[in-house]
Chains A and B, each alone.
Chain A
Amino acid sequence: MKAHWIALACCLSLPALAETEHPLLPGYATQARQADPAFAGFSAERGKALYFAEEQRDGKTMSCTTCHTADPRQAGKTPAHRKVDPLAPVANPERFTDLKKVEKWFRRNCDDVFARECTAQEKGDFISWITGLK
């Protein structure tokens, strides 16, 4: 009798124990695999490094943190003094729910910081990190 209850408890808690992948990640994984067949998954650590990376643009230091601050759970500010709502979904649940919006801002901001497009690998790494923040 006890074994049944234990089994039931385990099965019911499995979904909670399993890491639920963010819904945008499979799409980026497909793209990343197309770009590199040796694609080995996403890394939140790499995503974090991308966020904090600093580049020199027109004599100024640019980084994701320039607008989104060192803590993406806080509100940020653009150089034009416009408030930016927090980037991390834990603070702002609307973030990373709309693929079009996500792609638009990757396109613009990767260009601003890195002077290029971010790869699917980078985007997936970053989303892994930002959506895992508590």
Chain B
Amino acid sequence: MKRIVALATLTGLALALSLGGFSLADDDEHHERKGYKRPKRLAVPSDAPLVWKEECAACHMLYSPGLLPADAWREQMRTLGDHYGSNASLDPVQEQEILDFLVRASATNRLPVEPSPTAGEPPRISQTRWFERKHHEVSEAKFAREAVGGRFNCVACHRDAERGDFDEDRVKIPR
């Protein structure tokens, strides 16, 4: 009898802890399906090669590798000749160095590749489910503000986005 009680208590405790633990780990996203969580390891590695910073932030902000899964970065690097309508081609040596870095630095992003709704362009960070969910309270009008520029321009509202800091408490949407 004692053994059953002990077992039951143990099971009940384990159940309570695991359920409690689950709800604690499920931060502010109440509707996230298990297995699909927004990327959180977004700090830019200190050993990031200069060629990546120079080539991939000449025309737009520097996007933290953790924002996309490796396969999405592979697709980006495969299609640089037509990079969302622009020619962003590189010489093969630079291309390989950047690709190696991106694959390595995005290893913690285990999300599936989410193809862009626009045919013929590589995946967009701003078209992922988690991005949509995190920004569902931001109106189209706000994204369209000239000071913001669009969904691609994280730095407009997330000042330290290029360091991977998207802390909600530090968001400032310009007028």
The complex places the Cα of A75 from the Cα of B87 at a distance, in Å, of 21
Chain B: CB-nearest residue to A103: B91
Write out, one digit per residue, whether chain B residues 52-87 have a CB within 8 A of any chain A CB (1) or not (0). 000001111100000000000000000000000111
Asked if B60 and A107 sit within 8 Å, CB to CB, the answer is no
Asked if A112 and B87 sit within 8 Å, CB to CB, the answer is yes
The complex places the Cα of A100 from the Cα of B90 at a distance, in Å, of 11
* Among listed B9-17, B40-48, B97-105, B148-156, interface-contacting one: B148-156
When the two chains form the complex, which single residue of B61, B89, B152 contacts A107, counting CB atoms closer than 8 Å? B89
**Nearest CB on B from A126, distance (A):** 17
Asked if B86 and A82 sit within 8 Å, CB to CB, the answer is no
**Nearest CB on A from B165, distance (A):** 19
The complex places the Cα of A111 from the Cα of B88 at a distance, in Å, of 10
**Chain B residues with Cβ under 8 A from A104's Cβ?**
90-91
Number of cross-chain contacts by CB at 8 Å? 34
**Chain A residues with Cβ under 8 A from B87's Cβ?**
107-109, 111-112
**Chain B residues with Cβ under 8 A from A82's Cβ?**
57-61
The complex places the Cα of A81 from the Cα of B143 at a distance, in Å, of 13
Interface residues on A, range: 10 to 19
**Nearest CB on B from A99, distance (A):** 13
Asked if A81 and B153 sit within 8 Å, CB to CB, the answer is yes
**Chain A residues with Cβ under 8 A from B89's Cβ?**
107-108
Asked if B59 and A78 sit within 8 Å, CB to CB, the answer is yes
Chain A: CB-nearest residue to B81: A111
The complex places the Cα of A57 from the Cα of B90 at a distance, in Å, of 22
**Chain A residues with Cβ under 8 A from B60's Cβ?**
78, 80-82
The complex places the Cα of A80 from the Cα of B89 at a distance, in Å, of 17
Asked if B86 and A81 sit within 8 Å, CB to CB, the answer is no
The complex places the Cα of A58 from the Cα of B85 at a distance, in Å, of 9
**Nearest CB on B from A56, distance (A):** 13
**Chain A residues with Cβ under 8 A from B156's Cβ?**
81
In chain A, residues 61-98, which have Cβ atoms closer than 8 Å to a Cβ of chain B? Answer: 78, 80-82
**Chain A residues with Cβ under 8 A from B58's Cβ?**
78, 82
Of A57, A58, A111, most buried by chain B (CB within 10 Å of CB) is A111
Instruction: Name 8 extra pairs, CB < 8 A, besides A78-B58, A81-B153, A109-B87.
Output: A78-B60, A80-B59, A80-B60, A80-B61, A81-B156, A82-B60, A104-B90, A108-B86
Which of B's residues lie within 8 Å of A, judged by CB?
57-61, 85-91, 149, 152-153, 156
Identify 24 residue pairs between A and B in the complex whose beta-carbon atoms are under 8 Å apart, listed by A's number.
A57-B85, A78-B58, A78-B60, A80-B60, A80-B61, A80-B149, A80-B152, A81-B60, A81-B153, A81-B156, A82-B57, A82-B59, A82-B60, A82-B61, A104-B90, A107-B87, A107-B89, A108-B86, A108-B87, A108-B88, A108-B89, A109-B87, A111-B87, A112-B87
